[in-house]
Every structure is written in structure tokens, then in C-alpha cells.
Amino acid sequence: MSTFTERLRRHGGTIGLIVIVLLLDVLALSQAGGSVERQLFVGNVMIQVIFVGSVGYLYRIVGVASFGQAIFYGGAAYTVGLAAPHVGSSTLLLLIGVGAATIAAAVVGLFIFRVPGLSFAILTLALGESLFVLARRERWTGGDTGLFGFGAGRLFGLDISTPGAFVASMVVFTSLGMLLLWWLEYSRFGVVLRAIRSSDRRAAALGAGIRTYRYAGFVVAGAVSGVCGSLYALLWNLVSPDILQWSTSGDPIIMTLIGGMGSIVGPVIGCVAFLYLVDIASAITDQWELWVGTILLVVILAAPRGVVGLVDDAVSRVLRRKEEAHRVR
Amino acid sequence: MNSVALPAIVGLSSGLLLFLLASGLTLTFGVMGIVNFAHGGFFMIGAYTAFELTSGDGGLGVAQFAMGVVAAAVVTAAIGLVLERLVFARLYATSPIYTLLATYALLLMAQGAVVMKWGRLPQSAPLPDGLSGSVDLGSLSVPVYNLVCIAVAAVVAVGLFAVVYRTRLGLEARAIAMDRSMASALGIRFRLVYAVLFTLGVFLAGLAGAMQAPLTQLTPSLAHAYVVMGFAIVVIGGLGSVTGTLVASLVVGVTNAFAVSFAPDISGYAVYAVLVVVLVVWPGGLLSRGAPVVDLH
Amino acid sequence: MSDNAIELHAVDKQYGETYALRDVELTVQTGEIRGLIGPNGAGKTTLSAGIAGEVPFTRGRVRLLGHDTTRWNARRVARLGVGRSFQVAQVFDELSVEQNVALAAEVAGLSPLRAVLSRRWSPDLSHLERVGLLGRREVPAGELAQADRKLLELAMVLVGEPRVVVLDEPTAGMSSQEAEECAELLRELAAEQELTLLITEHNMNVMFRLAHSITVLVGGEVLLTGAPEQVRTDRRLAEVYFGSDAEEEEATR
């Protein structure tokens, strides 16, 4: 393989990510004249790709399984909703939401030092469920209806007062969010985490603080989830208990699987594909659970490395054929 | 005294039913190394099948009810066996993450199938006339059905322990759980053990669902609610420990019952509070003496 | 006393009822190259793993570089200045050769906070050069041949400037030529940096040429410790490895 193609393969993830972010930005900007419904949908997609990206990061790089990211996502959203009557600035609301999520992740993450992986995953599941029950039950969280009616003004100077303006502003936030996720993977922090995933024996034998790094990774993922949850609340100006359901934690995992668990670009692709799929499916049928479940099962059994895996396989085949043609000549 | 005895009995009955549910999870995890999210789906299928078989016009006799329950469990087990051969057999060698997601997919499909047949609105499964009253034990008035549940579940539980500890199959299962490579060197019949064990676990889940049905509102979200509960129990008791699962099930059942009686505000997450406390003090679960152990004991 | 790099006293390792190690006494002086030999299943790997903190001993005391490390885990032992190489080379397959070494040099003292602030590593590549892998620094470690992986692992161990190194079959999988070169390299490095080495080996040529002294482990117990010549000609060793046929062999030579 020529060095150019080698370099291309090696940086495939980064290149793919840049391409997708650009496409998403174009998508967002194209909604300027569209219906509110479409603007809300695309705005949601822009938020979700970062959230799902953070979940993918948690699994793939940090190596921690968590079924409770909804705690930080939904928790931040609720924090925004609860603080909104008292705080006028959307920027400040976002920071408060992220702060709450980060503190929560810092507390929950402590169990990483204490408890084996599967138990930790179940613990996060249980905590997520508890939060869901709490949100539905208590009056101060708005009960089953939730919190609503808070407006949004400007976020770090960008206009988010209408869905249209929000979607346009998301160009900035999604791009920054993706940059952050990229940095978290390629900075020294990410390299250490990847090394730990590669061989924790070797990492320990070199004196690496394995659980400290995993904890840090978990807190960071929680913080990013908090950013997304806060943005969600500001987009819809409403927060209902549904946001704390297990599906909020489980769907990103599915999306990551569909897109491909092995690369930075997989979760993003999976997220977009999944959201559009569900959008189309629920317009057609009421039985979306059955369809989604079937599709997921098919993907797992037939294409375990997801969309990215399929693309990777196809590219390898093409490159191999080209090489053989070269050699024959 | 009276106000304590009733929740205790209700707790015992629900705890034993939970054990039937959770034991399947423990066995699949301890022996096959599989985290089966679809298990709650089997519970739900058992409940709805029993509902389908026992509801209708006219009175419900005890015999008819019993047959309905057993039939529901058998049907669920049959579905489980088919899925085991078709889907789970392909998951044994893959990573836990994929297994988790594949089983989550199955859970979604099960929920979808139930919604298709029975809709999303809550249903109520009937109690047979003969078992619907209360009986007086001393100064206590105890619902008959709870006593029946305790009796049946206890017998089944004893049967399960007998299978695990007294049969050739159980021995092979425990060998696999303890040391997989050694077991294969000894020529243990993996596929047979897996198939039987899995189906047994599903049968128990279906039975638990069928028996729980008259006591709960039936909605498709049962699947999800009970799988979470099941996993919490398994973790509390200690992954892979059948005895631990029993203890944890009883703890959870009784805690829930007491919470409902005395602190209804926290009854939704009493279990999870227990989970957190247990994990802080015994990171591996109750019966693992502090260090996480994955074998069947 | 303070001259000893490694001290083991009355060390046992039990798995259930079975003893993998029983009543092991071991003393390795600073700067010494100690070989550890014995038939398969004798407990050599368990002993190495236990000293490195990967596996807890059931009974006994371990002192490394003057510290009581009996209850220490692998991370703490590593930070004390103990390097470790494994029978099957453990390197970071997904990362490049250069990244592997960079990480090895810096990770022990690198907090997540500092790590998240930069992308740059500043690796000392001299060790890579020493083992001959400098030309392939960009290659993903997973693509290296087995022998090169072991050399990479060696470079990674050395870049951390350890004072003691525990090596598990460093020449496993190498041709006799490669093994000799590796042994020579180890000897040079140990002399230059005043390293204490504890080496488990099956390659007797390498072992007898490299080691200052050798400990023989049989059935979890120490059979003898002595200079290479002493050990080589000891009757009991022949019996252990070859059975009593060894006596016949000797007679027919």
C-alpha cells in the first residue's frame, strides 16, 4: 500500500469526522426557511450526535459500560428547567446544568474505584431508574407533566430564541462538541485511555493509574452529556420525565452499534441513521419497537461492526484489488 | 405486630417469585457468561400469556387457573428454547457488549409483539374465585393467593436447587462456571447444558410472570421494569451465586413490601437504595465475601 | 541488608488446597543477574507475577529496594522502580512504536488533568535506537513480528529507568541468533545502568551465559541456588529435568 493510502487509512476517523460535521452544518443551515417541526427535529439531531458521541467515547475509549447516562443528560435538563424561573441568562443556565451533571458524575463515578464493571453498569441503570421514578412522583419536578414555559434568549452571544435561530447556532456548538470529542481521543489523555484498553496489564506494569483515568473519562463523558441535556432543555423549552427513561441511556448504545463501535465516526453516523429511521418508521406505523428491535438484531448478527465496518470492508476490498492490479502490471 | 406480619408475608411471596425470575439471570450469567436483557421479556410474555388463557367471561376455577399458569410457563419456555438455538447460541462467543445489545433488541421485539397483540393500555389478569379471599391465621388476615405463591415458589425453588446440586446436569453446569477450559477438556456437553439451563431459566421467568400477573397491572413496560429489578437482585446477591440470588430476592421482596406499607414515597426506589448500600459495603455482592467472584456457588 | 534489591521470606501461594509456591526464600543483591529455572509448572511465572504485585501471595513477606511490598499492587510496584516484561510481550498494539515508548516514559507520573491539556509527547528515543527499532517508529505495534515486540517491550521497560527488572522468558520465540543478541544486549544494559535482573528462562544457553547466579524452582519449592557452573553440574538438576536416566546418560558419555 502506498504511503498516501496508508496515511489516509490511519487518519480515516478524523477525516470522516470532519466530513460529517460539515455535512451536519450544511443540514442545519439549510433549515432556515423550513417548518418549525423540521427545525426542531434537526436541532435535536445536532444535540444528539454529541451526546451519542460521548457515550461512544465512554465505551470505546474509556472502557466503562454505563446504562445511566440519562442521569447526567436528563439531570442537567431538569436542573435547567428548575433554575430557569430564577435565572434569566441562557448561558448561565447551561453552565448550571453542566455543573450539576459534572458533580453527579463525579459522585457516581467514585464507584468505579470500588466495584467491578458489570456491577457498575447495573448500578448506573438502577440510579437512572430511581431518578425517573423521582421525577414522575415529586411535585417540585412537575410530576408527569414536567417543567415548561421557560424561554431562551442568547447562548454565549448566539441567538437561540426560535427553533430556526437555535438550529443555526447549533452549527457552532456541534462543531465545537465534535472538536472536543476528537481532542479527548487524540490528546495524551485519550492515548493513555486507549493504551489501557489495549493492555491494562502493560499499563499497570508501567505505573499508570488505571482507575483514576477511567474515573476522569467517566466524569468528562458525564459533563458532555450535561451540556447536551442543557441544550435539549433550551431547545424545547420543556422537560418531561421521559428524558430520564432507560431508552435515553439505551438508544445511544444502539446508535453506536448501528454506526460502528470501533471508530470515532461510528456513533455519529449511527445517531443520524437511527433518528431518521425512527422518524420515518413512526410516521408509518405504531409498532416502532418491533421494527427497531428487528433492525437492531439484524445489524448485530449480520454487520457487527456497523456501518463504519461495512464501509471499511468495502474500502479494503477496493484497495486490495488495486494493489493486485498494480503488481500484475 | 400485625402491621409487620402482613408486609412480611407479602414480601416473602413476592421475594420468592422474584427469585424464580432472577435465578434464570444468575444461571445464564454464571454458566454461559451472558448478560440477558431479554429475560424481563420472558417474564412479560409469561404474564400476558397467562392473562390470555385465564381471562374471559364466566368464573375462573382453580384448576383452570393452574393449568393456565403452567401452560403460560411452558409456552414461554418453548419460545425461549427456540431463541436459544437461533440467537443466543451465536452470542456465546461474542463480547458482552454485543450480547447486551442483541438481548436488548430482543426485549424491544418482545415489547413490540405484546403491544401488537394487546395494546399499550394496562390490563388486569383475574384471580380464580377459590383463591381470591383471605384466610385467618390467628389474629392475622392473610390473602390466600400470597400463601399459594409462597408454597408454589418454595417448592419450585427447592426443585431448582436440586437440579443444580444433585443432578449430573447441574454438576456439569457448575463445572463450566468454575473453569471453562477444564470443563471442555473433560468432555462436558456444553450445548446440551446451555440449552437446558437457558430453557429452565426462561421457564422459571415465565412461571414467575404468570403467577405475578393477577397481582400487578399488566403493561408492556413490565419487561423493562422487571429486568432492571432482576439485575439489581443478581448484583446484590453476588454475580453467579444462586444462593446469593435467593437471599437478595427475599431482601428485595421484603424491603419493597415494607416500603409500600410504611414509606410509600420511596417505594419506587427502595430496591435501588439497597443496591447502593450493598455495593458500598460488599463490592462483590452479599455472598461474595468482598471479592468479586464469578462462579456458581 | 540494604544491599538487597529483592528479598522474599517464607512466601506461599495457595490456590484453594493446592500450593503453587511453598516456603520460598529468595535474596537478590543489587546489580545481580539472577536466573530462575525449573520445569514447567514449577511456579516460576507465579513467583514473578507475585513479586511484581500482579498476584497476591498467600503468606510471607516481600521486600523490594528496601520497601515492604507484600501487599502492593502492580502499579505501586512499578512506580517504585520495578520494570516488568512478560512471556507474551504486552505492548499497546493500537499505538505506534514511538507512542508506546513515549507512554512508557511518561505515564507513571501523568495525571489525567495534565494529560488532557496537550497532544505532544516528548519521548526519549535512545532506547528504541538501542534495540534497533528506531526506523520503524511509526508502525503500529500490533504489526511487529514477535521478536520485535519483545524488543519494543524491553525498550519500554528501560525507558522508565527502573532499578529492578523482572523478565519472563525474554528470548521466547526468538531464533538462537536473536536470543544470543538479546542476551548480550541485556548484559550490556544491566552493566551500564546497574540493573538488578530476575530472569525466568527456558533457554539454558542464554541463562548460563547471562546469569550471575541461578535459582532452581521445582514443584513450587526452591531446590537450590548457586553459581551457574555449580547448578549445571548438580546431580539433582539432571534428575529434575531428565529423570534418573540422566545418570545413565552421564555414564555412557
Q: Which of C174, C192, C181, C222 is nearest to C34 (CA)?
A: C222
Statement: residue B295 has pLDDT above 70: no
CA distance B29 to chain A (A): 11
CA dist., res. A278 & res. A295, Å (int)? 11
Q: What is the pLDDT of residues C96-137, one digit of tens each?
A: 999 999 999 999 989 999 999 988 888 888 988 988 898 888
Residue B2: predicted pLDDT: 61
Secondary structure of chain C in the HEC alphabet?
Answer: CCCEEEEEEEEEEEECCEEEEEEEEEEEECCCEEEEECCCCCCHHHHHHHHCCCCCCCEEEEEECCEECCCCCHHHHHHHCEEEECCCCCCCCCCEHHHHHHHHHHHHHCCHHHHHCCCCCCCCCHHHHHCCCHHHCCCEHHHCCHHHHHHHHHHHHHHCCCCEEEEECCCCCCCHHHHHHHHHHHHHHHHHCCCEEEEECCCHHHHHHHCCEEEEEECCEEEEEECHHHHHHCHHHHHHHHCCHHHHHHHHC
Q: What is the pLDDT of residue B252?
A: 92
What residues in B contact A294, CB-CB < 8 Å? 105, 109
Residue B116, pLDDT above cutoff 80: yes
pLDDT band at B108 (very low <50, low <70, confident <90, very high): confident
**A203 CB near a chain C CB, below 8 Å?**
yes
Neighboring chains of B (3 or more beta-carbon pairs < 8 A): A
Interface test with B, best of A58, A119, A131, A134 (most B CBs within 10 A): A119
Give the C-alpha separation, A278 to A214, whole Å. 33
Distance between CA atoms of B189 and B181, rounded to whole angstroms? 13
pLDDT score, position A203: 95
C88 Cβ under 8 Å from any chain A Cβ = no
User: What whole-number distance in Å separates Cα of residue A85 and Cα of residue A98?
Assistant: 18
- Cell representation of residue C100: 508506546
What confidence tier does C21 reach under pLDDT thresholds 50, 70, 90? very high
- Grid coordinates belonging to B162: 436440586
Q: How confident is the model at residue B290 (pLDDT cuts 50, 70, 90)?
A: very low
Interface of A with B (CB under 8 A): 59, 65, 111, 114-116, 118-119, 122-123, 125-127, 129-130, 133-134, 137, 246, 250, 253-254, 257, 261, 286-294, 296-297, 300-301, 304
Give pLDDT, residue C158. Answer: 92
- Range C207-213 average pLDDT: 91
Q: Please tell me which residue of chain A has the smallest CA distance to C103.
A: A192
- The complex's ipTM works out to 0.89
pLDDT at A287: 72
Distance CA C209, CA B41 (A): 66
Instruction: Verify whether the Cβ–Cβ distance B268 to A289 is below 8 Å.
Output: no
pLDDT at res. B292: 40
B7, pLDDT greater than 70 = yes
B49-103 pLDDT, tens digit each: 999 998 877 778 888 899 999 999 999 999 999 998 888 887 787 777 677 777 8
* Chain A, window 127-156: residues with a beta carbon less than 8 angstroms from a chain C beta carbon: none
Instruction: Report the pLDDT value the prediction gives residue A314, as an integer from 0 to 100.
Output: 86
Specify the pTM: 0.88
The DSSP call for residue B30 is I
Q: What is the pLDDT of residue B288?
A: 64
Nearest to A207 among C92, C107, C119 (CB): C107
Interface contact flag, A123 B275, Cβ < 8 Å: yes
Please indicate whether, in this complex, the C-beta atoms of B108 and A246 are within 8 angstroms of each other.
Answer: no
Using a threshold of 3 CB pairs under 8 A, tell whether chains C and A touch: yes
What is the pLDDT, as a whole number, of residue A177? 95
* Statement: residue C211 has pLDDT above 70: yes
| Residues of A with Cβ-Cβ distance to C103 under 8 angstroms | 191-192, 195, 206
In the Cβ-directed half-sphere of A139, how many Cα atoms lie within 13 Å?
0
The mean predicted confidence, pLDDT, of chain B is: 85
* Neighbour count for residue A95 (Cβ, 10 Å): 16
Whether residues C90 and A201 touch (CB distance < 8 A) is answered with yes
Examine the pLDDT at B296 and tell me if it is beyond 50: no
What is the pLDDT at residue A329?
65
DSSP for C47-72, please give it.
HHHHHTTSS--SEEEEEETTEE-TT-
**pLDDT tens digit sequence for B27-41:** 888 888 888 989 999
Q: Would the CA dihedral through B252, B256, B258, B263 be positive or negative?
A: positive
The pLDDT value recorded for residue C243 is 62
Grid coordinates standing for B175? 463445572
pLDDT class for C252, splitting at 50, 70, 90? low
Mean pLDDT by 10 residues, chain A (329 residues): 68 88 90 85 94 94 91 96 89 94 97 87 89 88 83 82 87 94 94 93 94 96 97 92 89 87 90 89 76 79 81 83 79
Interchain CB distance below 8 Å, B228 and A126:
yes
Q: What is the pLDDT of residue A275?
A: 92
Residue of C79, C87, C93, C103 to mutate when probing chain A, most A C-beta within 10 A:
C103
Q: What is the pLDDT of residues B117-132, one digit of tens each?
A: 898 889 888 888 888 8
Residues 161-190 of A with CB under 8 A from C: 183-184, 186-189
pLDDT band of residue C141 (cuts 50, 70, 90) is very high
So what's the pLDDT on residue A285? 76
Question: CA angle, corner A34, sides to A33 and A40, nearest 5?
Answer: 125
Asked if the model's pLDDT at residue B293 lies above 60, the reply is no
Nearest residue of A to residue B114, measured between CA atoms:
A290
Q: What is the pLDDT of residues C158-181, one digit of tens each?
A: 999 999 999 999 988 888 888 888
Provide the pLDDT for residue B297.
34
Q: How many angstroms separate the Cα of B179 from the Cα of each of A83, A246, C58?
A: 54, 35, 21
Mutation for testing the C interface, residue in A194, A206, A215, A224 having most C CBs under 10 Å: A206
pLDDT digits (tens, 9 = 90+) for A169-211: 899 999 999 999 999 999 999 999 999 999 989 999 999 999 9
Question: HSE of A212 in the Cβ direction (CA atoms, 13 Å)?
Answer: 17
Q: Do chains C and B touch (3 or more CB pairs under 8 A)?
A: no
Of A122, A137, A254, the CB nearest to B232: A122
In whole angstroms, what is the distance from residue A104 CA to residue A90 CA?
A: 21
Closest-CA distance, A253 to chain B, in angstroms, reads 8
